[in-house]
Amino acid sequence: MALNREHLDLINAPLSDLLGEASRLRDYGHGHRMTFSPKVFIPLTMLCRDRCGYCTFAKPPAHLENPYLGLDEVISIASKGRQSGCFEALFTLGEEPEERYPAARDWLTANGYSSTIDYLVAAAGAVLSETGMLPHANPGAISEAELLRLRAVSPSQGMMIETLAARLGEAGGPHFGAPDKTPERRLATLEAAGRARVPFTTGILVGIGETREERLEALLAIRDSHARHGHVQEVIVQNFLPKPGTSMHRSDPCDYDEYLRTVATARIVLGSAMHLQAPPNLSDPEQLSALIGAGIDDWGGVSPVTPDHVNPERPWPALNALRDATEAAGKSLAPRLTVYPEYALSDDWIHPDVRTAVRRASDSEGLARDDEWSAGSNETPPVLLVSSEIRASGAVAEVIAGVEAGERVGFDEIVTLLEARGQNAQAVYRLADALRREIIGDVVTFVRNRNINYTNICTFKCRFCAFSKGPLSLNLRGKPYMLGVEEIQRRVIEGVECGATEVCLQGGIHPDFDGDYYLDLARAVKEVAPSIHIHGFTALEVTEGAKRLGMPLKDYLILAKEAGLATLPGTAAEVLD
């Protein structure tokens, strides 16, 4: 790729200028949020047909107890991650080891697999079905057909471009003897992933002998492929560090200023929306703030369970240390899934076989859930322990300041508060608690209520509803029913006798109801309990009642109030986009 004058000016610009622009773009695209992926590292096989001069991951068969991890070992690692709050099962493996080692071929044949990728599909599928962990397959350069097979068991996949400098594959170079590291093979996989609609992680390696121009060429190739397909969810910029036992052990580590320059250049080239990662364990703790200043918005996978098998000499930082470093730079830290929110929330990018697992693991923003609790589950709801030392930052701090000054909160400000994480979320809790104390005091009230669901038969087919039934649903959680007026009155009296001061009336939208049903039901309740407060009929019910009588909604509500209806529940006034 021929670089023009603009490109050359970019890569040779003063470092301070690059950092300033990269930081601005990151803040514009991602605000003050930094993400990471809680993961476990599953080294499915350390055999590899490639011989890279910087790699300590790949090992010969003589140095391994078994050519591949067994399925029981894979499930064990994933289960430990699940128990530790992880979401990602990162499958890392050597590329096509069966092409080099008879031991790999023999193991695959003996266990009923045709190839390493065939086994990877089975292992990822087992992890997904047995643990709920989301696989991220990182098998290197593979075909479009293999990408499509993996797509059905792995929400995201990845392969580092590393470099497009073909000369580094010549004798004496780091990729000499690595047939899978040719520019053509790497780019072919990147393009195939786009055609296969796979949310894809890629990136470059800095400091293995490439020039600034060659780094830029790789970044431009990634940018252009993403422009064609929209599939690159994340770009990693990784710095080279020499490792003992490799042919490059005497090489100099990547110059850190050059590394920061490359990170900033990547942000500028790839734009504000791209997710940009720098592995935190390959930098010293005091250098993390500089990486944030260079434009990254993600720390990548961090594991509380397994080591970094690719860089075993550089353990991952403790999560608390990573959070402290992030917040010291004025950012908040949030866990994410292996697949980024833009893709997790889109059915177009997620195979039907993995959608349910992705949805169960994600929150409303497509990030990872902070806890396991959900309504109706047996999990204990999280307890909010608000620290006295809270420092809100960014847009959340601005909204909080506005609220404290008495300003009205608008739509965008509400969204900002709902998206708060970490200390920002704690600051929102503290503000809400202070407002409650100021306006209401410390008295918490409740109402003695008798809840009556008069029918579960409904003409609507809301996909999230487990309450409604129809004639064809007799095999689903009980039978359809319709309470008579006398039974409803009996339940009202029963509630009053137990001290209830309110009755809540809700039900499905029965096909035989007209608008008069709801009015008659309110009158029947008042007939047996004149003083009872009727809290009844969802927004959907009163809308349907008005519609079926052919009258304006306001007129219908007036009739309902005259019949005895006092208040409407918010239930079923769902936020539907």
Residues 216 and 268 in one domain: yes
Q: CB of 144 within 8 A of CB of 196?
A: yes
Residues 271 and 308 in one domain: yes
> Mean pLDDT by 10-residue block, N- to C-terminus, for the chain (577 residues)?
85 96 97 94 97 94 96 98 95 97 98 98 98 97 98 98 97 95 98 99 98 97 98 98 93 97 98 98 95 98 88 88 90 94 96 96 91 69 65 87 94 92 86 93 94 90 70 58 95 97 93 93 97 93 93 96 94 53
- Tens digit of each residue's pLDDT (9 = 90 or more) over 362-421: 998 999 987 767 666 677 776 665 566 777 877 899 999 999 999 999 999 999 999 888
The C-alpha atoms of residue 210 and residue 166 are separated, in whole angstroms, by: 10
- Provide the domain count of the chain: 3
81 inside domain: no
> What is the pLDDT at residue 383?
65
**Can you give the residue range of the structural domain that contains 513?**
449-567
230 inside domain: yes
CATH number, domain containing residue 267: 3.20.20.70
Which residues lie across from 457 on neighbouring strands? Answer: 469
Q: CB of 47 within 8 A of CB of 58?
A: yes
Buried-state track 253-292, b at ≥16 Cβ within 10 A, e below 16: ebeeeebbbbbbbbbbbbebebbbbbbbbbbeeebbbbbb
Residues 190 and 311 in one domain: yes
For residue 383, give every residue at least 6 positions away whose Cβ sits within 8 Å of its Cβ, in sequence order, or none.
none
Residues 253 and 272 in one domain: yes
Residues 528 and 505 in one domain: yes
> What is the pLDDT at residue 388?
61
302 inside domain: yes
Residues 412 and 553 in one domain: no
Residues 177 and 228 in one domain: yes
Residues 346 and 489 in one domain: no
83 inside domain: no
Query: Percent helix, strand, coil in the chain (nearest 5)?
Result: 45, 15, 45
Number of alpha carbons in the 13 Å side-chain half-sphere of residue 474: 2
Of the candidates 390, 401, 388, 392, the one whose C-alpha atom is nearest the C-alpha of residue 420 is 392
49 inside domain: no
pTM for the model:
0.84
Alpha helix (H) ranges present in 448-552? Answer: 485-497, 515-528, 539-549
CATH number, domain containing residue 551: 3.30.750.210
Residues 321 and 412 in one domain: no
Boundary residue ending a domain (311, 339, 361): 361
Residues 356 and 432 in one domain: no
Boundary residue ending a domain (346, 361, 376): 361
Residues 274 and 350 in one domain: yes
Residues 161 and 262 in one domain: yes
Q: CB of 333 within 8 A of CB of 327?
A: yes
